[in-house]
Amino acid sequence: MTFRAIEPLVGEGGDRGRFQSNLSEDIPGYVAAPAIALDYPWKHFIGGHVGRLGTRDDVTLHQQYMADIDASVRKALVSVDSTPFFQKYGDNPWAAVSALFDAWTDAGAAPVIEKYNGVLAAADVYTRSTVFWVIESIRLDLGFASHVHP
């Protein structure tokens, strides 16, 4: 894999417009890519930063951000009680599941936004969408807190 192939994956999570995780279809690969990129001897990259080049420190910050999202998502998946959503929506399980996903996303995003707001550009704007896709990956790709196992 060339650096050019890695470069789009190492931008700050969700910082390119409305796109989740830079439109990655492989969230585990997206999370692993920065470690691969840091194995190369480079000083700057063009990774979706507004008005400046990225640095190795930016990649390290991205790794910390994604690790914090992972930990926060795992906590949300096991701590948010689904019962009230199914009680509220009764015969409409799709509405209950939609509300549950919103609750998981809110619970997973809140501590990360609080930690990175003012540290990581647009953390307050794009963390929720990144958290949603990490929830999906952790559940579906990794089988965590899910009845669906890979």
Question: What residue ranges do the domains of the chain occupy?
Answer: 3-140
Specify the pLDDT at position 148: 64
CA 7, CA 3: separation in Å to the nearest integer? 6
- Measure the N-to-C terminal CA separation of the chain; round to a whole number of Å: 26
pLDDT in tens, 56-78: 999 999 999 999 999 999 999 99
pLDDT in tens, 90-129: 999 999 999 999 999 999 999 999 999 999 888 999 999 9
pLDDT in tens, 23-40: 577 888 888 989 999 999
Specify the pLDDT at position 21: 55
Asked if residue 9 has pLDDT above 80, the reply is: no
Asked if residue 132 has pLDDT above 70, the reply is: yes
- Spatial CA neighbour of 79 closest among 46, 117, 36, 110: 110
Specify the pLDDT at position 22: 56
pTM of the complete model: 0.81
- Pairing relation of β-strands 44-45 and 54-55? antiparallel
- Tell me the mean pLDDT in the region 73-90: 96
